[in-house]
Amino acid sequence: MQTMNETASPSLGRLQREYDRLRKSLARIGYISQGSVLQRSVATSGRSGYQWTRKRSRKTITVSLSREQFEAMKEAVANERALWETIQQMEKISRQILFQSLPDTRRRKRLGKRVLGLI
């Protein structure tokens, strides 16, 4: 049995250290929320100048926010985006580790980066 060609890929130890770093970074992510927040340029009378918008069942839901809620939701939305970026990186590294460290089947052609979802 063979393992994936390691000469063209990062070392297994380096990949595992990067995966552990990303895993630990997940514990530091604060509150998360889907959607987006925006600050309207002109607040009309009786209405907040801040909004949070998200999709639910193919419908757009918009909620007025206080300044404090806006700041907290802004951070939560950014955290949610960072969370998904981290998960995508972890998924790519996981595939690299699995294909490098476990016995592989015989192949006529080496698996390319596109097939493994690395690019």
Which H/E stretch holds residue 39? Answer: strand 36-39
- As a whole number of angstroms, the distance between CA 16 and CA 10 comes to 10
Which of helix, strand or coil describes residue 62? Answer: strand
Nearest-angstrom CA–CA distance, 11 and 15: 6
Q: Is the pLDDT of residue 71 over 50?
A: yes
Report the C-alpha gap between 52 and 34 in whole angstroms: 9
Say whether pLDDT at 88 is over 60: yes
Q: In the predicted model, is pLDDT for residue 48 greater than 70? A: no
- Of the candidates 104, 116, 94, the residue with the CA atom closest to the CA atom of residue 12: 94
Looking at residue 115, its pLDDT comes to: 73
pLDDT tier at 6 (50, 70, 90 boundaries)?
very low
Residue that wins the pLDDT comparison between 91 and 45:
91
Q: Are 77 and 92 in contact (CB under 8 A)?
A: no
> Which pTM was predicted?
0.74
